[in-house]
């Protein structure tokens, strides 16, 4: 008998009919002899509806009150799913994040989980119940409701799986797993049945939307296997991707997949003094404004001056560019510019650790197509480049072919 | 400095604009030097939306899960109102029923309040905050969310007022107080500025929709003054009805108002043995089915047989009539019939305690109009009669005139 934590996203529970379908699926897992804990998101559209109410009152309003409001979406879903399970004869019980004691810090709208009390869940499981938990939310030490921010429900599921020492954390979404790249962009992208957690971490951080990076980080830290499945797939033996510790996963695969995103913008400040501390002078104000910086590049100095380039999320470009103009005038920079017509393309694979030449092959493939590389960032298991946005489809396709990822080459 | 508990219903908080108007009103009360605790309902339409989701899943579903879902409506409103107050410069803090420790019994969907911990609210008031509490909900000793059922938000407000020893509990609604009868039925119905709690209790139980009977019962039990005001009234000195302990209210008013309702149905079982225990044999099964019985009439027996008549809510007629048929066949009754084309009309007034002849005057006025009385029920401060539904408007108008309640006679 296995203990499984399942998570169903907003589309999977988007209507009463979909919720009943989820109940059927959960019951099939129970009937196969498993203990099941289910984490759900708000019904699709609900969170947007509440955000719009909030914006009508005060978009800059108190984060505590926003959490009070936003946490209700998941609370509705857990009640409905528990009722659907019960009406099909499966005993079930719903819990809000606070009730099941998902204790978080007090950073409203982006709280981090500190501790989970698994006692109430275990008691229910021992009584043969399915436990249905609201994703995305918790409670701080003052008894206030908190939300976990982006990707919160995936994170709740992984954290519960870790706390319960579950055998597997299943993330149900609208795709049946991870592919070598986005199948909407490359028609012969190949399904990946097993993937290393570290690789998934790089895939997620480089733009793959299948799993939220925070949840993968959590799973990676606690070595919790994640299985990605489609909630629209009715097969008895559904297609899935198991994301797990990399031992025995690796084999000879050099490059596992191609990730990409169009979420970033690039900023450059040119002709600043090439002296110690210059990076801090430039990035300090950006970090102070809670703007996350992804890639950073400092050119080799010339004539005592250097150029400095970094990327931020496009949503943060306006704020970051204003800060940079302030820094530029203070440092008497020769130029200060930005561009959001960029895309990031990354090849990811634990196999490249032991293989030289992966990066150079990538650069050659792109050069052969006349695609200029603006920035490069590498780790042991990925190489990411920034290119003009208009080249992103071309870059992904040629790299997918060049590294032998296409279906026909399987 | 007074401590005031205010309650705003679903229409009063039905849109972001209405919520902002409520915030302005609350702030005016604070600026006049009052401590203010606000209880709110779900935005109008929200509860119906959730009930429809529930019915799509399972109308007969678990009451615990229904409460989990239904309680979210108020939770959204408290967050929005707190944000509206804050954005206008008034410090505020929202609490769910569970957070503010409104402890109830575990009877989901119609829980009763057991205890309220006033400490967190007092702490916030001492810091100059407005405290915004979700109406209609609480938490039981197991930490499960409960709802109070019909009229729950009014009851929350009165219970909080009692727990905090507030000076006044203000119920904001869409009318500016209690009238001698429904002004939609009698155009010259008169506004009542002050009314006894006991009279209000009778008015509410006889069909006046202005205040929920449960809340009035609570206020009556703990002697908490209630003020009914309109949230659509922008006057500095708004019209209102103060419902309070009757000392000093009474004066010489004989009849305070005319209440009526069309919510009931009448059932009769005829020709049953006139023997001890017969009432119990008839009403026992009805009570066991949790059907509330309002009026009960047993005729004087003749030839060892008697007739027995009672009224129930129209929603319960189908269930009650089935039960009655079972009883009739068991008791070999000569007849068993029911009718939902009835209405109840009542005259209410603490003054009639010391005046004989109020009931007989009522009967004469109705007889003069040819209105047949089917059932009578009296208390010290009310006389209620059941008449054919088609006569209800006529009965209310002639009684309103006959007892001198019309505007022109004020």
pLDDT tens for each residue of A10-43: 999 999 999 999 999 999 999 999 999 999 999 9
CA distance B180 to chain A (A): 39
Q: Which residues of B are annotated as a binding site for substrate?
A: 47, 74
B264-273 and B305-313 strand pairing: antiparallel
When computed from its CA atoms, the radius of gyration of chain A, rounded to whole angstroms, is: 23
pLDDT tens for each residue of A323-363: 999 999 988 888 899 999 999 999 998 877 777 778 888 88
DSSP designation for A372: P
Contact A75, A96 (CB under 8 A): yes
Res. B323 pLDDT band, cuts 50 70 90: very high
pLDDT at B289: 84
The residues with which B103 forms a beta bridge, in sequence order, are: B115, B139
Alpha-helical segments (H) within B166-259: 197-205, 213-222
Residue with tokens 């104000």, as numbered in its chain: A285
Contact flag B61-A87 (C-beta cutoff 8 Å): yes
d(Cα B190, Cα B173) in Å, to the nearest integer?
18
Q: Which residues lie closer than 8 Å to A155 by C-beta, 6 or more apart? A: A113, A148, A212, A214, A215, A218
> What are the residue boundaries of the structural domains of chain B, listed by start?
3-250
Res. A291 pLDDT band, cuts 50 70 90: confident
Q: Which residues lie closer than 8 Å to B345 by C-beta, 6 or more apart? A: B258, B259, B260, B384, B385, B387, B392, B395, B396, B399
Q: To probe the interface with A, which of B38, B62, B146 has the most A CB atoms within 10 Å?
A: B62
Question: For chain A, what percent of residues have pLDDT higher than 70?
Answer: 97
Contact flag B94-A65 (C-beta cutoff 8 Å): yes
pLDDT tens for each residue of A171-230: 998 888 999 998 888 888 999 999 888 889 888 877 777 888 889 988 998 999 999 999
pLDDT tens for each residue of A381-398: 888 999 999 999 999 999
Q: Which residues lie closer than 8 Å to B52 by C-beta, 6 or more apart? A: none
- CATH assignment, B3-250: 3.40.1160.10
Instruction: Tell me the average pLDDT across B131-156.
Output: 92
Could you say which of A64, A65, A80 has the minimum Cβ distance to residue B69?
A80
Instruction: Tell me the average pLDDT across B49-66.
Output: 94
pLDDT at B407: 64
The torsion angles phi and psi of B198, rounded to 5 degrees, stand at -65, -40
Provide the CA A90 distance to its chain's centre, in angstroms: 32
B267 is written with which tokens? Answer: 């059932």
Contact A285, A326 (CB under 8 A): yes
pLDDT tens for each residue of A95-112: 999 999 899 999 898 888
Maximal C-alpha separation, chain B: 78
Could you say which of B65, B82, B94 has the minimum Cβ distance to residue A82?
B65
Contact flag A65-B83 (C-beta cutoff 8 Å): yes
Burial grade of A280 (CB within 10 A; 0-12, 13-18, 19 or more): exposed
A3-8 and A35-40 strand pairing: parallel
Res. A410 pLDDT band, cuts 50 70 90: very low
The torsion angles phi and psi of B103, rounded to 5 degrees, stand at -80, 130
CA distance A312 to chain B (A): 30
Chain B residues contacting A via beta carbons under 8 Å: 16, 19-20, 50, 53-54, 56-58, 60-62, 64-66, 68-69, 71-72, 75-76, 78-80, 82-84, 86-87, 93-94, 96, 99, 143-145
B19 is written with which tokens? Answer: 């919520």
Could you say which of B66, B68, B83 has the minimum Cβ distance to residue A62?
B83
B72 is written with which tokens? Answer: 């979210």
Name the more confident of A383 and B88. B88
Q: How far is CA B270 from CA A341, B113, B276, B374, in A?
A: 87, 41, 16, 15
Residue A287 has pLDDT above 50, yes or no: yes
Instruction: Tell me the average pLDDT across B68-81.
Output: 97
Three-state SS at A376:
strand
d(Cα A224, Cα A243) in Å, to the nearest integer?
9
pLDDT at B410: 43
d(Cα B42, Cα B104) in Å, to the nearest integer?
20
DSSP designation for B302: B
Instruction: Tell me the average pLDDT across A278-302.
Output: 83
pLDDT tens for each residue of B12-54: 999 999 999 999 999 999 999 999 999 999 999 999 999 999 9
B160 is written with which tokens? Answer: 């909080």
Res. B64 pLDDT band, cuts 50 70 90: very high
Residue B233 has pLDDT above 80, yes or no: no
The residues with which A138 forms a beta bridge, in sequence order, are: A146
Among A217-221, B69-73, B377-381, whose mean pLDDT is lowest?
Answer: B377-381
d(Cα B121, Cα B129) in Å, to the nearest integer?
9
Chain A partners of B99 at a C-beta cutoff of 8 Å? 143-144
d(Cα A164, Cα A26) in Å, to the nearest integer?
18
pLDDT tens for each residue of B240-264: 999 998 655 555 667 889 999 998 9
**Element holding B87 (H helix, E strand):** helix B72-87
CA distance A63 to chain B (A): 9
d(Cα A354, Cα A53) in Å, to the nearest integer?
53
pLDDT at B167: 95
pLDDT at B247: 59
Contact flag A87-B20 (C-beta cutoff 8 Å): no
Among A131, A16, A111, which residue's Cα sits nearest to residue A70? A111
Determine how many CB atoms are found less than 10 A away from the CB of residue A67: 25
pLDDT at A235: 65
Q: pTM for this one?
A: 0.83
- Closest residue in chain A to residue B56, using alpha carbons only: A16
Chain A partners of B83 at a C-beta cutoff of 8 Å? 54, 57-58, 61-62, 65-66
Classify the phi-psi angles of B339: left when phi > 0, otherwise alpha if psi is within -120 to 50, otherwise beta. Answer: beta
Contact A390, A334 (CB under 8 A): no
Q: What interface predicted TM-score (ipTM) does this complex get?
A: 0.80
Chain B partners of A143 at a C-beta cutoff of 8 Å? 99
Residue B408 has pLDDT above 60, yes or no: no
The top-scoring range by mean pLDDT among A76-80, A189-193, B43-47, B112-116 is: A76-80
d(Cα B256, Cα B254) in Å, to the nearest integer?
7
pLDDT at B235: 65
Contact flag B58-A87 (C-beta cutoff 8 Å): yes
Provide the CA A2 distance to its chain's centre, in angstroms: 26
Determine how many CB atoms are found less than 10 A away from the CB of residue A254: 18
How much is the mean pLDDT over chain A? 89
Among A160-164, B392-396, B401-405, whose mean pLDDT is lowest?
Answer: B401-405
The top-scoring range by mean pLDDT among B90-99, B287-296, B324-333 is: B90-99
- Closest residue in chain A to residue B94, using alpha carbons only: A65
d(Cα A365, Cα A395) in Å, to the nearest integer?
9
Among A244, A260, A262, A252, which residue's Cα sits nearest to residue A404? A252
């Amino acid at each position: 008998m296995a203990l499984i934590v399942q998570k169903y996203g907003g589309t999977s529970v988007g209507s009463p009919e979909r919720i009943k379908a989820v109940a059927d699926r959960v019951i099939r897992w129970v009937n196969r002899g498993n203990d099941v804990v289910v984490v759900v998101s708000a019904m699709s559209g609900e969170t947007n509806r509440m955000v719009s109410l909030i914006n009508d009152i005060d978009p800059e309003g108190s984060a505590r009150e926003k959490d009070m409001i936003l946490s209700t979406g998941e609370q509705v879903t857990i009640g409905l799913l528990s009722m659907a399970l019960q009406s099909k004869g499966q005993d079930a019980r719903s819990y809000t994040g606070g009730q099941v004691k998902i204790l978080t810090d007090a950073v409203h709208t982006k709280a981090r989980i500190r501790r989970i009390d698994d006692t109430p869940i275990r008691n229910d499981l021992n009584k043969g119940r399915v436990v249905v938990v609201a994703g995305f939310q918790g409670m701080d030490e003052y008894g206030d409701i908190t939300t976990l921010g982006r990707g919160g429900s995936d994170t709740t599921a992984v954290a519960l799986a870790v706390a319960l020492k579950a055998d597997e954390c299943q993330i149900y979404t609208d795709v049946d797993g991870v592919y070598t790249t986005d199948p909407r962009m490359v028609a012969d992208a190949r399904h990946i049945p097993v993937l290393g957690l570290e690789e998934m971490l790089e895939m997620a951080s480089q733009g793959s939307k299948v799993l939220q990076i925070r949840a993968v980080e959590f799973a990676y830290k606690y070595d919790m296997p994640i299985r990605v499945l489609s909630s629209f797939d009715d097969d008895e033996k559904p297609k899935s991707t198991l994301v797990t510790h990399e031992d025995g996963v690796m084999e000879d695969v050099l490059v596992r997949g191609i990730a990409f995103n169009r979420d970033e913008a690039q900023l450059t400040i040119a002709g600043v003094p090439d002296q110690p501390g210059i990076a801090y002078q430039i990035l300090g104000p950006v970090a102070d404004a809670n703007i996350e910086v992804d890639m950073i590049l400092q050119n080799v100095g010339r004539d005592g001056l250097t150029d400095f380039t970094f990327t931020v999320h496009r949503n943060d470009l306006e704020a970051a560019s204003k800060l940079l103009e302030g820094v530029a005038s203070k440092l008497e920079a020769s130029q200060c510019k930005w561009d959001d017509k960029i895309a990031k393309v990354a090849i990811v694979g634990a196999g490249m650790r032991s293989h030289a030449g992966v990066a150079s092959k990538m650069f050659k493939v792109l050069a052969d197509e006349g695609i200029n590389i603006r920035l490069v960032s590498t780790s042991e298991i990925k190489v990411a480049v920034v290119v003009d946005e208009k080249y992103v489809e071309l870059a992904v396709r040629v790299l997918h072919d060049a590294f032998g990822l296409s279906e026909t080459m399987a």
